[in-house]
Amino acid sequence: MKKFLTVFCFALLFAVTIFAQDSNEILIYVSPDGNDEWSGTIGEPNENKTEGPIATIQKALDKVKEIRSSEMGEKTIKIILRDGVYLINKPIVITTEHSGKENAPTVFENYPNEKPVISGGIRIKSWEKEEKGYTADVKDLLGKNITFNSLWVNGERRQPARIPDSTHPFGDYPSKQEFFTAKKYEYIPETENQPGTLKVFYDENDPIQNWNSITNSYCVLFCKWAVPLLPIRSIDTKERCLYLNVPKNFWFGVIFAERQRFYIEHLFEGLNKPGEWYLDRKEGKLYYIPLPDEDMNSAEVIVPIVEQLLLLEGKPTEGKYVGHVAFRGIRFVYTNFPIGERGQSDPQAEVSVSGAIQGTGARHCIFEKCTIQHVSNYALWWRSGSQNNIVRQCHLYDIGAGGVKIGETANAETDETPGPTTVDEKNLYLYKELGPTGCGYNTIENCFIHEGGRFLRAGIGVWIGRSSYNRVAYNEICDFRYSGISVGWCWGYDPSSAHHNIVEYNHIHNIGKAQLADMGAIYTLGVSPGTVLRNNHIHDIMCDPDQYGGWGLYTDEGSSYIVLENNIVHHTLTGNFHQHYGRENRVVNNIFALSAREQIIRSREEDHISFIFERNIVYYDNDQLLGSNWNNKKWQMDRNCYWNASGKDVLFKNKTLKQWQKDGFDVNSIIADPLFENPNKGDFRLKEGSPVHEIGFQPIDISKIGLYGEEEWVKLPEKYNRIPCPIPSK
């Protein structure tokens, strides 16, 4: 009876407080200084410490579930997080029972002018000075299975011990001395009795030894557009061969070529520079060499203990969704991504890697003015059944893999199916609407996404897989080791469920970092009618200079029926626009300038029109206008302006303009200085009297590209110093 009365009084107090507020809104306050025995109806403890905010987000979720199942379930519910750190040891899970409605959402937001933090990392204290820097015993703190692969000191990610050493943090713009050389590879497939093995034969000049800690380390293999992390099982110094564990269903293909680069990471013998760390997993002992200004008595050293921070778990196959849930003004930090005994390897884009925040069957959910940082995986992933979600004005940075993933790598069972071709014989596919497990209609807008691929290097700023009708707009994306934005996940001309995606007004720069190859600031795959890439500003794109492929706009295998218009692309290493192969892409009213090598590249020749190239300005200062294959005449080019600022002749594969025009190309094009304000400094405004108006070129207003809103937000990128991209001028 006593227990019943206590519960009744608590419920009554909660209800009375609710109805004293706005009748359409219920507020639940949460604070690290709170108490889960309190009601959460006031923002801070009362004088007697008998009432105030609750202490945990989980308790708030329990209250939301109760309210949603009650007569008050039609009201807006706001969970107000007070300042402080909310440390979690497992993901926060939002289910269909927590869902709001269009006019009555469930909202998690910061208390005005406060900055709540949801953290999956714990602080390491009690450091002792030893010969190799400082050590801390972490086995009691973290338990038996110690697998973290990232560490932060005073809010900055630190480099695991490695051999050879790197010059720049995280290996950006590396020299050849920073790698060993894989002369060749041999793959031994998995059997019932033996896991798969990759044999890496290294160069005779590589000073690799049978170090004591080598079986606690892994190889970081730079394989064109992928970077597997594979644990070292053993070494044969006579044969000069490393035996590496590989994941199940390991993909061994063309990315593993001769003379590729690798280094060895998480090696105790490589612990020799300030800012490096090493974890002895067997002994549970953490080593760290501090930077000169770091005092280990006061330094905040954080290791991650969870892989994911927040899960929105709908059940789209059952038609159950997490809907109308919003997060505003919350900071999400510190996740781990375990490599495990078999390592980590994806064929491209780190597509299997989880999201620190992940939604399955999420509908009409919003992340606004949130921060996701210091994570080891992707920042956020909208998975199957996720539709009409918005990520707006969020800051995503210091990311282990990539920024945002949208969709899956395969069509959902109940997803859309292709219809017949159109009667005008343009082979444009018609599609039905998305099914219940389809992913689409999501928006990524006005976000600053940077410093990605810091652990899993092939992560992408924004990746769209088998997903349609998405919009990626007004973002600034920079400092990734692979591509900036990737759209589509279908190789060749099969119908794809990635179409009608809009990528516009994004500022994409400092991509590649000379680490990977076959990449682009915007990279597309597959047949994609309705997809438009427009009004993007792209510059400083640099692949591994010993490989190929640091392009601005890259329409890769089968990319078809895509419109690329009003983009400014300049200062790339190997080309501003490259079409590998595809059909009838429209490249219209763009500025392509100052690639260090070829300007426009066309690879595979096929028996159809590959692209239509009209009203573009191509401005360069070397003798490399067109690259690769231009023989079968299956393309259309007209009303373009070409100018070679070096003073050399403009030649189209050794042909003059008149000779080129006899073949039917650029009949109405001109060779003329477009009169840019300062192209070498990236200023492509047109001076008065520019001749490009003759060809119908429309000026591109760069001021509308990138972040918008409050001045502090728009100028935020200026606070981050980056290593200048060393792309040669010619």
Tell me whether the omega of the peptide bond preceding residue 164 falls within 30 degrees of 0, making it cis. yes
Q: How far apart are CA 54 and CA 40, in angstroms?
A: 5
Question: How many angstroms separate the CA atoms of 349 and 224, rounded?
Answer: 12
Alpha-carbon dihedral sign for residues 66, 72, 74, 75: negative
Q: Which regions of the chain are under pLDDT 70?
A: 1-22, 144, 412-432, 729-730
Distant-in-sequence, close-in-space partners of 445: CB < 8 Å, separation ≥ 6: 390, 391, 392, 393, 471, 472, 473, 474, 475
Report pTM: 0.95
DSSP annotation of 60: H
Other beta carbons within 10 angstroms of residue 194's beta carbon come to 9
Residue 129: CA count within 13 A, CB half-sphere: 3
pLDDT at residue 428 in the model: 47
Written as six digits, the tokens of 162 are 């490695």
**Surface-to-core class of residue 7, CB atoms within 10 Å of its CB (0-12 exposed, 13-18 middle, 19+ buried):** exposed
What per-residue confidence (pLDDT) applies to 413? Answer: 56
Q: Using CA atoms, how far apart are residues 117 and 332, in angstroms rounded to an integer?
A: 6
Annotation: CATH topology of 305-338+350-415+438-719: Pectate Lyase C-like (2.160.20)
- Letter for the amino acid at 440? G
Check: CB of residue 525 under 8 Å from CB of residue 349. no
What confidence score (pLDDT) does residue 446 get? 99
**What is the SS3 assignment for 697?**
coil
- What tokens were used for 517? 């190859």
673 within 8 A of 643, measured Cβ to Cβ: yes
Which DSSP state fits 657? H
8 A C-beta contact, residue 383 and residue 342: no
Give the C-alpha separation, 378 to 342, whole Å: 20
For CATH 2.160.20, list the domain ranges present in the chain.
305-338+350-415+438-719
Among residues 329, 102, 104, 340, the alpha carbon closest in space to that of 229 is found at 340
The reported pLDDT for the residue numbered 726 is 87
Half-sphere exposure of 570 (CA within 13 A, CB side): 20
Spatial separation of the C-alpha atoms in residues 441 and 449, rounded to whole Å = 20
